[in-house]
A and B are shown apart, each in its own frame.
Chain A
Amino acid sequence: MAIEPAVVSPATLAEAYAIAARGAHRPVAGGTDLLVQITGGIGPPPDRVLDLWRLDELRGISVRDGALELGALTTFSEIRASVACREDAPALVEAAATIGAAQIQNRGTLGGNVMNASPAGDTLPVLLALDAELVVGGETGERTIPAAAFWPAYRRTAIRPDELLVRIRLPLVADRRQRFRKVGTRRAQAISKVVIALAWRGDPGSGTWREVRVALGSVAATPIRAAAAEAALEGERPTESTAERAVAALVGELRPIDDVRSTAAYRREVAGRVLRRLVRDEGRW
């Protein structure tokens, strides 16, 4: 018999906050993770579900206060179709295009990807690389959590049970470049073996890279930044010797695991190869 927990579908964010404050509800956005978990018997099913789908207050993409803001219910299809996202967050657009296929992209949401907190969540390295700010809210108001502090442990988030993720802010940075690459078994419908997002500010004069971010998914218990690889690239131009040092640093600092989708050795090797290729593309060597 199918498991069908009780569900409540509030029409306003204020109502949703009130329900969240009572606790014991599992929020659901587009359902593309939660229904897999319920049907597949992955972990205990929730007793009660808080359906967020009707909350238009959590939709929309806009540029505001120096940041690209995406409502938590923004779907991956909406990200792909957004001129603002293509302009200011091309790596996020690329990530959205690799998630499932059209059926999933029409329902799955950026906020859902953030809150599901999978180490393989395809957009999460992008959010780390772009220094995203995650705005959460509740009956007591809103607060902002930097992406770097949002996933403290395997499948955990920094949000409190009485809070909901409201929107994702991507601060606009002049001269920032960004790249994304996902490695999976096929182009569509694949869960990643390795995901890399790379961002930096290119100095227009010297061509050196500043504020370098190297973020990865599927290589640790959480999405991570690769501090040693970032340090190897910081202040450098994208030359072959710089790439070699960055790859060595990355391979040295990663501690991936063997699992059903890949092996630790493969992930380490491929992460290095992908980083090398991204730097090579930029250096044109």
Chain B
Amino acid sequence: MSYHLTVNGTATEVAVPGMRRLLDVLREDLGLTGSKEGCGEGECGACTVLIDGAVAVSCLVPVCQVDAAVITTVEGLATPTTGLSSLQQAFLETGGAQCGICTPGMLLSGQAFLDSGAEPTDDAIREAIAGNLCRCTGYTKIVEAVALAAGRRDETGA
């Protein structure tokens, strides 16, 4: 079967089995290896992507369910013209990334939270990243990064 996806703004057609995991389509068929496979069972969040703006673990989504969908991966956050996203910049400043395995998923959960416009309380940020496990940072610096980016969003209205 052939499926049509818009991945990071680019219309893409993939001819693959419909039960292939979106994660495998991204990594193996499209060469976008930013999304990581940690557990393969939806527990760790390392493969988190946005599907039509909503977070999902791409290890549990068959590609047949994202035909005509808009997918955002970590590769779609920074662009050559605008550079790092505000959230990526905030991760750098607070030390929100250490070993890096959880970081792509964390960035997308954080981005979905920022896009929701929700008030960036500590509890709200922690709930937004509750599906992403990090074994390095203790989460504090990640929460600080999301709060920092939210503060800049609210200052600039961006």
User: Which A residues are within 8 Å of any B CB, using their own CB?
Assistant: 2, 4-7, 9, 28, 30-32, 35-36, 38-40, 49, 51, 53, 77, 100-104, 106-107, 187-189
A103 touches B131 (CB 8 A): yes
Is B128's beta carbon under 8 Å from chain A? yes
Q: Give per-residue flags for B19-47: 1 if the beta carbon is below 8 A from chain A beta carbons, else 0.
A: 11100100000000000000011110100
Cβ < 8 Å to A, chain B residues 36-70: 40-43, 45, 48, 51, 54-57, 59-62, 64-65, 67
**Are B56 and A103 in touch, CB under 8 angstroms?**
yes
Are B18 and A31 interface neighbours, CB within 8 A? no
Query: Shortest distance in angstroms between A203's beta carbon and chain B's nearest beta carbon?
Result: 37
| Chain B, range 71-127, C-beta contacts under 8 Å to A | 109, 112, 127
Q: How many residues of B contact A (CB 8 A)?
A: 32
B17 at the interface (CB under 8 A from A): yes
What's the least CB distance linking A113 to chain B, in Å?
14
Determine whether B130 belongs to the interface, using a CB cutoff of 8 Å to chain A. yes
CB of A103 within 8 A of CB of B41, answer: no
A102-B18 contact, Cβ under 8 Å, with A35-B62, A39-B40, A53-B65: no
A101-B131, A189-B130 given; A7·B55 CB < 8 A = no
Chain B proximity of A223: nearest CB distance (Å): 22
A53 to B18, CA, bound (A): 12
23 A-B contacts (beta carbon < 8 Å): A2-B21, A4-B17, A4-B19, A9-B64, A31-B60, A31-B61, A31-B65, A32-B60, A35-B62, A36-B60, A40-B41, A53-B65, A100-B131, A102-B55, A102-B109, A103-B48, A103-B56, A103-B109, A106-B54, A107-B56, A187-B130, A189-B43, A189-B133
B139 to chain A, nearest CB (A): 12
Q: Given A2-B20, A39-B59, list of 13 further CB < 8 A pairs? A: A6-B19, A7-B18, A31-B60, A31-B61, A36-B60, A39-B40, A51-B64, A101-B127, A101-B131, A103-B109, A104-B131, A107-B57, A189-B131
- In contact, B131 and A188 (Cβ under 8 angstroms): yes
Q: Measured between C-beta atoms, what is the minimum distance from A114 to chain B in Å?
A: 18
List of B residues within 8 angstroms of A36 by Cβ? 41-42, 60
Residues of A within 8 A of B42 (CB): 32, 35-36, 100, 103-104
Find out whether the CB atom of B130 lies under 8 angstroms from the CB atom of A102.
Answer: yes
Residues of B within 8 A of A187 (CB): 130
A39 with B18, Cβ < 8 A, contacts A101-B131, A106-B56 known? no
Smallest Cβ-Cβ distance to A9: which chain B residue? B64
Chain B positions within 8 Å of A189 at CB level: 43, 130-131, 133
Q: Shortest beta-carbon distance, B31 to chain A, in Å?
A: 17
Contacts of B62 in A (CB 8 A): 7, 28, 31, 35, 49, 51
Q: Are A102 and B65 in contact (CB-based, < 8 A)? A: no
Known interface pairs A36-B60, A102-B55, A104-B42. Does A5 touch B131 (Cβ–Cβ under 8 Å)?
no
Residues of chain A within 8 A (CB-CB) of B60 are: 31-32, 35-36, 104, 107
Contact of A106 with B55 in the complex, beta carbons under 8 Å: yes
For the complex, give the distance between the alpha carbons of A87 and B62 in Å: 34
Beta-carbon contact of A2 and B55 below 8 Å: no
Which residues on B sit within 8 Å (CB–CB) of A51? 18, 62, 64-65
Distance in angstroms between the alpha carbons of A6 and B132 in the assembled complex: 31
Interface contact B131-A39, CB-CB below 8 Å: no
State in angstroms the CA–CA spacing of A245 and B23 once bound together: 52
